[in-house]
Amino acid sequence: MADDNNASSAGQGQFHERIAEPARRAGEAMKASGEKMVEGGSTIGTKMIDQAEQNAREAFTAMREAANAKDISEVMKIQGEYLREQSSRSMAQAREIGELIMQFGRDAVAPLKGGSTE
């Protein structure tokens, strides 16, 4: 009977060590990964809103300048400058969002790989 109790205790210890504990750690890693994904999504959304506000301000500034232009050549000059600046701004904004997405992807995967969650 004592051998049966020892075998049962040993079996429970092996179950805990081989199954329960790894499952608990995997669950914690998945939770940490999910938290990083939510955090990243929120940050990216906020950054995109900030960029949209900046683009709208720049567009209204250009429209005001065009409305106050003295002739059509000045309007064309203002429009050309705005389009060049907006093109550069759009590329920089896309690069910034891309970099954020890559960083948040790395941050979200790190807990699953056993990396730091901070």
Any domain includes 118: no
> In the predicted model, what is the mean pLDDT of residues 106-110?
82
| Tally of domains in the chain | 1
Q: Residue 70: which domain range?
A: 2-113
Residue corresponding to tokens 């939770």? 31
Any domain includes 26: yes
Any domain includes 65: yes
- pLDDT tens for each residue of 31-72: 877 787 778 788 899 999 999 999 999 999 999 999 999 999
Residue corresponding to tokens 């807990």? 111
Three-class SS string for the chain? Answer: CHHHHHHHHHHHHHHHHHHHHHHHHHHHHHHHHHHHHHHHHHHHHHHHHHHHHHHHHHHHHHHHHHHCCCCHHHHHHHHHHHHHHHHHHHHHHHHHHHHHHHHHHHHHHHHHHCCCCC
With vertex at residue 102, the alpha carbon angle to CA 99 and CA 32, rounded to the nearest 5 degrees, is 130
